Each structure stands twice: as structure tokens, then as C-alpha cells.
Amino acid sequence: MTILDGKKVSNDIKNEIADHVQSMISKGEKVPHLAAILVGSDGASMTYVGAKVKACERIGFKSTLIEMPEYTSEEELLEKIHFLNTNDDIDGFIVQLPLPDQIDEQKVLMAVDPDKDVDGFHPTNVGRMALDLPTFLPATPYGIMELLERYQIETSGKNVVVMGRSHIVGRPMSILMSQKRPAGDATVTVVHSRSKNLKEITKAADIIVAAIGISEFLTGDMVKEDVVVIDVGITRVPDQTKKNGYRLAGDVEFESVSKKASYITPVPGGVGPMTIAMLLKNTLLARERHG
């Protein structure tokens, strides 16, 4: 069993980007500038945005964090998005999800200029992805593709089971792995909360991408020997023995599944760090595209 070390690979990618930034500086070019809007003060969201800002600093990107209160109206958020869309100093920006209930997420994502949409959530960019056109790939699926590629895991003709159909992970993952591209050419099955005979389907999988948001849902009895397992889940589970009061759990029961797997991502340190690295990669791409 080999651990797919997202922490290490993400560090390799960040170092590659940092080198690129240095060469941009030596040529007198502008460095990439990422902005993030955080609405409210959800603990996990603050951690995620903080990790993104810190990563920017480490590799030499400019970053701007815009914090708005929990009671922010949709109109106020849309105004801020308009400001970032029209500010030439900003190459790309993200709106940290989830948003408070009074704000329509769909409306917000559609307000982001597709050329600055480094999360790749705008319908234009989702369409471009589906049509194999150049675009910003959503960071988590992009990170998983990169991880599979760098570990040279064969995907061509393999049976891939994607668990979950979210717009951010499951759906794009199923599209990407079925496409003709590196880490693609797979035969993809998507399973979700209405699927029947789940175990029968997961047992036939060569590769499983678990993205359902239920901690330790996938267990050893549901997989075949030598399966490749990508765990996208990241749930905070109360744990008195930890100083912060919780531990992070994936969608995969690591203990039982790792005994059968040929490759498996840990939580933490698997897919999560790759998400951050690919957001940075998209921001670099945005800077280069803007000329």
C-alpha cells in the first residue's frame, strides 16, 4: 500500500510556482495577485481562507483578504464582486463557500468575471471544461487529477466510481476522468444518495473517489483488493483527546480500506493540500492570460 502524499506533492507544486514567480520578477513582470472574499466567521471557512492567503505569501503572490460580516446582503456582496471584476490589479479571486442563507450562491458565482474565476465555478467555465476547452479547472478535481498523474496511476480503461454529485467535486471529477486527457480515459460511474446496490458497484471499482461528506462511510468490505482510493471528505469529528476538541475524518474508513488498497490518500494531508496548490496554479494562469 502506497500513501498518496498530497502534502508532499502540493509542496513540490508550490515550489515550482515559486520558481516561476522569481523568474517573473527578474523579467520585471507583475506577480500574480489573488483576492478572497470571506462572508461571516465560520471556523472551517476561516481556516481554509487563511491557508490560501498563507500559501500566497509563501510563494511570492500578492493576496488580498476581504472580510464581510455574517449579515452581509446579497447586493453588498455583488458590489464587492463588481469591484474585484473591474480592478486591474486583481488577477483572480474566490468567494469562500458556503455563504450565509440570505445570499443566493448561484447568483454570486455567475457575477464573477469568468476570466478571474480561479475556482472555475462560473457556468461559462463549467461549460468550457465539459467541452475540453481551455479554462480554470475547479481546484479539488484539478488537484486529484494532478495527484493521479504524478503518481503515474493508470486510469485508461479503468472502472472509476465517483461517490457524490456535487458541483464542486463529484460532477466535475466524473467529467474529467471520462475525458481524453492525462488521468482520463476511464469508464466512470457516479453513485449518490439514491443509488441502489452500492456495495456491488464499489466492489467492482478499480479507482474510487469518495466525495459524499459522510465520515468514514466507505469501509473495507465495500472495496476489492488493490483498489485506488481518493478520499475527498473532511469532517470535523468531536475528539476530547485533541487540544482543539476535534479530529479531521475523511469519507473513508482508513483502517479497514488501507489494508486492501494499492494506493490511498490520507486525511488530512491528501486531497486538501492539493486543492490549495491548484488554486495557486489557476491564479498564475490567470496572470499569464491577462498579459
Residue of 14, 52, 80, 116 marked active site: 52
Cα angle 275, 273, 104 (rounded to 5 degrees) comes to 40
* Residue 52 annotated among the catalytic residues of the structure: yes
Q: Is 269 in the site for ligand BQF (CB under 6 A)?
A: yes
The nearest distance, CB 39 to ligand BQF, in angstroms, is 13
CA dist 59 and 252 (Å) reads: 32
Could you say which of 273, 277, 280, 281 contacts ligand BQF (CB under 6 A)?
273
Cα angle 111, 62, 34 (rounded to 5 degrees) comes to 20
User: What's at 51, amino acid-wise?
Assistant: A
Q: Residues 64-103: x/- map of binding to ligand BQF (CB under 6 A)?
A: ---------------------------------x------
Q: Which of the stretches 75-83, 109-117, 125-133, 261-269 binds ligand BQF when contact is defined by CB under 6 A?
A: 261-269
Q: Is 263 in the site for ligand BQF (CB under 6 A)?
A: no
Q: Residues 46-65: x/- map of binding to ligand BQF (CB under 6 A)?
A: --x--x--------------
Q: Which of the stretches 17-25, 64-72, 110-118, 264-272 binds ligand BQF when contact is defined by CB under 6 A?
A: 264-272
Pick from 99, 95, 108, 101: which is nearest to 40 by CA?
Answer: 99
Residue with cell 460580516: 69
Could you say which of 40, 100, 220, 268 contacts ligand BQF (CB under 6 A)?
268
Other Cβ atoms closer than 10 A to 149 = 15
Other Cβ atoms closer than 10 A to 76 = 14
Q: Is 138 in the site for ligand BQF (CB under 6 A)?
A: no
Query: Which residues, 206 to 235, sit near ligand BQF by CB under 6 A?
Result: 234
Nearer to ligand BQF, 182 or 269 (CB): 269
Residue of 5, 96, 116, 206 marked active site: 96
* Binding footprint of ligand BQF, residue count (CB under 6 A): 11
Pick from 19, 70, 71, 28: which is nearest to 46 by CA?
Answer: 70
* Residue 132 annotated among the catalytic residues of the structure: no
Question: In sequence order, which residues have a C-beta less than 8 Å from that of residue 87 and are 6 or more positions away?
Answer: none
* Residue 96 annotated among the catalytic residues of the structure: yes
CA dist 103 and 250 (Å) reads: 28
Cα–Cα distances (Å) from 178 to 20, 170, 172, 223, 231, in that order, read 31, 13, 10, 21, 19
Q: Is 272 in the site for ligand BQF (CB under 6 A)?
A: yes
CB 56 within 8 A of CB 14: no
Q: Which residues are designated catalytic?
A: 52, 96, 119
List of residues contacting ligand BQF (CB under 6 A): 48, 51, 97, 234, 267-269, 272-273, 275-276
